[in-house]
């Protein structure tokens, strides 16, 4: 099955929510009618629903998990629904992106994948690479990153196709620009990070200044010590840059009082597969430094530091839930 445009991940999320609700045994007639209306509203909703059904079938086949064959209290049913929703949504997103190697589904366009594969410089999942280019510019490529560089003309041109880079400009006097789908960043003797997100570009400046021009011709200048996000049409109000955001180029994920689910989401970019965090422990606060080159070790460190239990039902699927000593008020 092919698509001419990417399927919005929010549709997969909604489809997973609907599927988990309808399979929980707690759906009312009103819920069922609202699901039918959602399904009929757009062909992409039907596409997302079919994908989630496909994931559920594979999920049950792999785990022997058939929720309709069990009896549970309302509280257990609610917990199972949240857990199943997280697993199904994560597997659906992985399946859609080709992360599990299952054929027949395609969310990102083939042209985009080919462009990333042919990029001047790229890294695989879990790989971090440092480069020094001919003009003296130093570039670090984060996990699963693709970058094109052209240093031959009167202007140095970089194109970030996926992932994240940390860039430290060299002494070459020619102007330099970093293009993303949202716009262009033009540094003025600087050190900065550029990261592609869903429909926005994240930019943090650690030295110098960066001029931003969006595809819609909105403009702004971001000084050192600030970060922002911009889309093709708008630029968010700048905030103070978090110095920990550039620690990845040293192979470290720094946590300074952040939620467990936020840290795990970031750690998930450095390994294949899906990590599901149970809602009971998602809000636990995390501190410390964790090795990005060894995500399994990072998870072991988290398990030693927090009241959580980590289980791996399948090689590509990790579950993080309450462990010994967990108390709800710890969140």
CA distance 219 to 229: 12
The share of the chain scoring above pLDDT 90, in percent, equals 52
Please determine, for residue 194, whether its predicted confidence score (pLDDT) is greater than 90.
yes
In this prediction, residue 57 carries a pLDDT of: 64
CA distance 174 to 151: 9
Domain 251-330 has CATH 3.55.50.30: yes
What does the buried/exposed string (b/e) look like for 287-314 if buried means 16 or more CB atoms within 10 Å of the residue's CB? Answer: eebbebeebeebbeebeeebebeeeeee
Please determine, for residue 86, whether its predicted confidence score (pLDDT) is greater than 60.
no
Torsion of CA 201, 277, 71, 75, to 10 degrees: -90
CA distance 230 to 203: 8
Establish whether domains 111-243 and 251-330 are of one fold. Answer: no
Token readout for 329 is: 């008020």
CA distance 96 to 89: 10
List C-alpha distances in Å: 233 to 78, 174, 178, 229, 230. Answer: 40, 28, 17, 11, 8
Domain 111-243 top-level CATH class: mainly beta
For 256-285, write each residue's pLDDT tens digit.
899 999 999 999 999 887 888 999 999 999
The predicted model gives 48-64 an average pLDDT of 64
Please determine, for residue 316, whether its predicted confidence score (pLDDT) is greater than 90.
no
Q: List, in order, residues 6 or more apart from 133 with CB less than 8 Å away.
A: 139, 149, 151, 170
Contact between 132 and 146 (Cβ < 8 Å): no
Please determine, for residue 329, whether its predicted confidence score (pLDDT) is greater than 80.
no
For 141-162, write each residue's pLDDT tens digit.
999 999 999 999 899 999 999 9
Please determine, for residue 80, whether its predicted confidence score (pLDDT) is greater than 70.
no
* CA-wise closest residue to 317 among 90, 48, 39, 72: 90
The pTM (predicted TM-score) of the whole model is 0.69
Q: Band the pLDDT of 223: cuts 50, 70, 90.
A: very high
CA distance 255 to 287: 5
Please determine, for residue 23, whether its predicted confidence score (pLDDT) is greater than 60.
yes
Please determine, for residue 110, whether its predicted confidence score (pLDDT) is greater than 50.
no
Domain residue spans of the chain: 9-108, 111-243, 251-330
CA distance 131 to 138: 6
The predicted model gives 304-328 an average pLDDT of 87
Higher pLDDT, 93 or 174: 174
CA distance 138 to 140: 7
Please determine, for residue 135, whether its predicted confidence score (pLDDT) is greater than 80.
yes
Of 32-46, 138-152, 230-244, 275-289, give the lowest mean pLDDT range: 32-46
* CA-wise closest residue to 119 among 137, 139, 104, 135: 139
């Amino acid at each position: 099955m092919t698509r001419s445009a990417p399927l919005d991940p929010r549709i997969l999320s909604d489809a997973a929510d609907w599927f988990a609700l309808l399979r929980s045994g707690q759906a009312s007639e009103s819920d069922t009618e609202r699901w039918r209306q959602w399904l009929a509203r757009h062909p992409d909703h039907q596409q997302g629903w079919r994908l989630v059904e496909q994931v559920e079938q594979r999920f049950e086949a792999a785990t022997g998990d058939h929720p309709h064959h069990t009896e549970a209290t309302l509280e257990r049913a609610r917990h199972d629904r949240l857990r199943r929703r997280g697993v199904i949504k994560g597997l659906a997103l992985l399946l859609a992106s080709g992360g599990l190697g299952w054929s027949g589904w395609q969310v990102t366009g083939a042209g985009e994948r080919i462009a990333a594969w042919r990029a001047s410089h790229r890294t695989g999942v879990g790989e971090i690479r440092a480069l020094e280019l001919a003009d003296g510019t130093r570039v670090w490529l984060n996990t699963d990153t693709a970058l094109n560089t052209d240093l031959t003309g009167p202007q140095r041109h970089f194109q970030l196709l996926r992932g994240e880079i940390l860039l430290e400009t060299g002494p070459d006097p020619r102007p330099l620009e970093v293009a993303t789908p949202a716009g262009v960043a033009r540094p003025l003797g600087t050190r900065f990070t550029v990261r592609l997100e869903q429909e926005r570009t994240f930019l943090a400046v650690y030295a110098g200044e960066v001029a931003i021009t969006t595809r819609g011709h909105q403009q702004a200048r971001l000084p050192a010590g600030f970060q922002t996000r911009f889309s093709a049409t708008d630029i968010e109000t700048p905030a103070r840059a978090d110095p920990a955001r550039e620690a990845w180029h040293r192979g470290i994920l720094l946590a300074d009082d952040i939620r467990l689910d936020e840290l795990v989401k970031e750690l998930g970019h450095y390994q294949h597969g899906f990590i599901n965090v149970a809602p009971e422990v998602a809000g636990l606060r995390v501190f410390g430094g964790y090795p990005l080159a060894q995500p399994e070790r990072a998870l072991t460190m988290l398990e030693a530091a927090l009241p959580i239990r980590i289980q791996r039902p399948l090689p590509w699927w990790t579950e993080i839930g309450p462990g010994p000593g967990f108390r709800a008020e710890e969140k």
